[in-house]
């Protein structure tokens, strides 16, 4: 391949062949997949993944996905299993073993141990007559496929690796769906980095208590300005006549009042306050709160839980948190 176009076309060919392999696998998937989901969901112990070579590497990724979704799991090193690693397996665990051929020597001792102690096995393979298939309680058999590329790459795991990745993702996401997984839980398992920040509920960013300035409906304009500047939130809350009835005055409201009224000393809070400020639930995520602010062109949200006021968040604190 000399030209850039030839290189591009060959790359596209690889991707196309892997897509075709996934499509074959999808058509071949049967109710054993559902049985595997039910077994995983009913497992009282850990989901234990094991494989050799590329299969092990892919299962490490799958195990990471399971863990991030709150499904207790770990990877058992097949090479170390017969040197004491099998001791980590418990009767209430479920084994997920992947091997393209299903006859990998390193897996035999694990299969024997699992059968002896009646540990359930989900086997993933392309060989329905393999040792893995014969010893598994549930088999997910994918069709034999040609690895991507020409004959020089026929032994390089490509399409088969992609298929295993897809099966692992399908298992993880389907179990999570069956368990009514919520996106907020994903955030709990990713407390750091951009994922954790984007999945942080605003209750974690609340400004509460004496950090919030308050005035009454008859507070004069001068004291309103003083209250706003005292806490540096760009707003002040106005206590209403009814319990839990809150109004708000922002620095934008005071600026508009200054340009509209000639005698500011006669103004009181009830003259310039927003009577129905925007309330949101404490469990909405930080990016969603930011989106609401941008859409409504406001800088402050009042936060409630079960109908009761909990505190507030402002646009600057959310942006600062997201960019930290």
Give the CATH number for residue 253. Answer: 3.10.580.10
**In angstroms, how far is CA 312 from the centroid of its own chain?**
26
Residue 190 has pLDDT above 70, yes or no: no
Residue 286 has pLDDT above 90, yes or no: no
**Contact by Cβ (8 Å): 114, 121:** yes
Task: Provide the pLDDT confidence category of residue 99 given band limits of 50, 70 and 90.
Answer: very high
On average, the pLDDT of the chain sits at 88
Strands 246-250, 235-239: pairing kind: antiparallel
Q: Centre a 10 Å sphere on the Cβ of residue 259 and count the other Cβ atoms it contains.
A: 6
Task: Sort 101 into a burial class: Cβ within 10 Å, 0-12 / 13-18 / 19+.
Answer: middle
Over residues 41-67, the pLDDT tens digits come to: 999 999 999 998 889 999 999 998 888
**Contact by Cβ (8 Å): 224, 269:** yes
In a domain, 186, yes or no: no
Last residue of a domain, one of 151, 181, 211: 181
Residue 244 has pLDDT above 90, yes or no: no
Query: Residue 72: its pLDDT value, please?
Result: 87
Q: What is the mean pLDDT of residues 219-246?
A: 87
Task: Provide the pLDDT confidence category of residue 192 given band limits of 50, 70 and 90.
Answer: low
Do 79 and 157 fall within a single domain? yes
Query: Residue 317: its pLDDT value, please?
Result: 85
SS3 content of the chain, % helix, strand, coil (to 5): 50, 20, 30
Which tokens in the block code for residue 150? 């020409």
Do 140 and 235 fall within a single domain? no
Over residues 101-131, the pLDDT tens digits come to: 888 888 888 999 999 999 999 999 999 999 9
Query: Residue 85: its pLDDT value, please?
Result: 75
Query: Residue 98: its pLDDT value, please?
Result: 94
Query: Residue 245: its pLDDT value, please?
Result: 83
| CATH label of the domain that carries residue 23 | 3.40.50.10490
Query: Residue 243: its pLDDT value, please?
Result: 56
Range with the poorest average pLDDT among 42-56, 122-136, 156-170, 310-324: 310-324
Tell me the β-bridge partners of 275: none
Range with the poorest average pLDDT among 31-40, 85-94, 168-177, 193-202: 193-202
Do 43 and 98 fall within a single domain? yes
Query: Residue 201: its pLDDT value, please?
Result: 86
Query: Residue 273: its pLDDT value, please?
Result: 93
For CA atoms 285, 286, 289, 291, the dihedral sign is negative
Query: Residue 208: its pLDDT value, please?
Result: 93
Give the chain's domain count.
2
Do 141 and 241 fall within a single domain? no
Residue 216 has pLDDT above 70, yes or no: yes
In a domain, 187, yes or no: no
End-to-end alpha-carbon separation of the chain, Å? 46
**Contact by Cβ (8 Å): 125, 139:** yes
Residue 277 has pLDDT above 80, yes or no: yes
- Residues for the chain: how many in total? 324
**Contact by Cβ (8 Å): 157, 54:** yes
Question: What range defines the domain where residue 118 resides?
Answer: 4-181
Do 310 and 217 fall within a single domain? yes
- Which whole-number Å values give the CA distances from 125 to 26, 39, 134, 276, 304, in the listed order? 14, 18, 11, 61, 51
Last residue of a domain, one of 181, 213, 232: 181
Query: Residue 224: its pLDDT value, please?
Result: 93
């Amino acid at each position: 391949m000399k030209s850039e176009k030839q290189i591009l076309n060959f790359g596209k060919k690889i991707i196309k062949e892997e897509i075709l392999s996934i499509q074959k696998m999808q058509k071949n998937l049967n109710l054993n997949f559902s049985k595997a989901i039910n077994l995983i969901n009913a497992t009282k112990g850990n989901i234990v993944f094991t494989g050799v070579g590329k299969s092990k590497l892919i299962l490490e990724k799958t195990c990471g996905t399971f863990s991030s979704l709150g499904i207790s799991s770990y990877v058992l090193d097949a090479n170390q299993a017969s040197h004491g690693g099998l001791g980590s397996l418990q009767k209430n665990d479920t084994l997920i073993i992947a091997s393209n051929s299903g006859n990998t020597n390193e897996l035999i001792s694990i299969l024997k141990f699992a059968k002896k102690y009646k540990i359930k096995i989900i086997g993933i393979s392309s060989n329905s007559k393999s040792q893995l298939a014969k010893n598994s309680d549930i088999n997910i058999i994918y069709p034999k496929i040609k690895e991507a590329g020409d004959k020089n790459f026929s032994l390089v795991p490509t399409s088969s690796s992609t298929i295993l990745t897809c099966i692992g993702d399908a298992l993880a996401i389907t179990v999570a769906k069956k368990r009514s997984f919520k996106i907020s839980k994903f955030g709990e398992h990713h407390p750091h980095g951009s994922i954790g920040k984007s999945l942080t509920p605003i209750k974690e960013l609340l400004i509460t208590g004496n950090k919030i300035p308050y005035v009454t409906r008859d507070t004069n304009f001068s004291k309103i300005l003083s209250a706003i500047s005292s806490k540096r939130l760009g707003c002040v809350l106005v206590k209403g006549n009814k319990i839990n009835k809150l109004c708000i005055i922002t620095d934008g409201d005071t600026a508009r009042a200054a340009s509209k009224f000639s005698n500011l000393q006669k103004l009181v809070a009830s003259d310039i306050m927003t009577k129905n400020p925007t309330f949101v639930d404490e469990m909405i995520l930080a990016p969603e709160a930011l989106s609401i602010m941008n859409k409504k062109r406001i800088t402050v949200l009042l936060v409630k839980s079960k109908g009761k006021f909990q505190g507030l968040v402002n646009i600057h604190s959310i942006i600062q948190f997201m960019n930290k």
